[in-house]
Amino acid sequence: MKIMVITAHPDLTASRVNRAFARKASTVPGVYVRDLYREYPEWTIDVEKEQRLLTEHDRIVFQFPLYWYSSPALLKKWFDDVLTYGWAFGTDGVHLTGKEFIVATTTGGTENQYRSGGSNWHTLSEFMKPIQSTIEKCNGVFLPVFAAYHLSDAPEAELEAEADRYASHIVSLQADLAD
């Protein structure tokens, strides 16, 4: 299985957690890691290149920090520019049919804050519904979200253990778990 991880952090070099996750994923055979903000510093997305890369991979992972209950802005622009009518969905839009997608997100808050009745009012899965709906509209398979909570000040051993858990999740998850 060919896996592509698209990291979307405005400054990956300054992010202890997302940087550790991307670094760990890049050591896994068959995993190709890309930094969206480094790739497109002027925000001019090469749509043909992105669509080609999507067709070349079996599983796509969107790795990003949760920003105001959503993805960072460049990833949203990527969705808008790349997942076009006639290519990703709609008439003749079959290029993503059956492709597997995972959202891997990090939060500054604790897991308890992302529960019904928590300080963020909703679960993390509820916040991911727009991305899930986008993937399903494109006939992709939305696999369970990977979430890492409140790790920015975690001891190095804990961060490394979470990076290992992340790498394992993105390569070993089976599509039937998404049901």
pLDDT for 135-169, tens place per residue? 999 999 999 988 888 777 777 787 789 899 999 98
Angstrom CA distances, 118 to 63, 114, 121, 147, stand at 24, 6, 5, 16
Which range marks the domain in which residue 149 is found? 3-178
> Does pLDDT of 111 surpass 70?
no
Name the phi and psi angles at 55, rounded to 5: -70, -25
Number of structural domains found in the chain: 1
Q: What is the CATH number of the domain that holds 13?
A: 3.40.50.360
> Does pLDDT of 177 surpass 60?
no
Name the phi and psi angles at 6, rounded to 5: -105, 105
Confidence of residue 95 (pLDDT cuts 50, 70, 90): very high
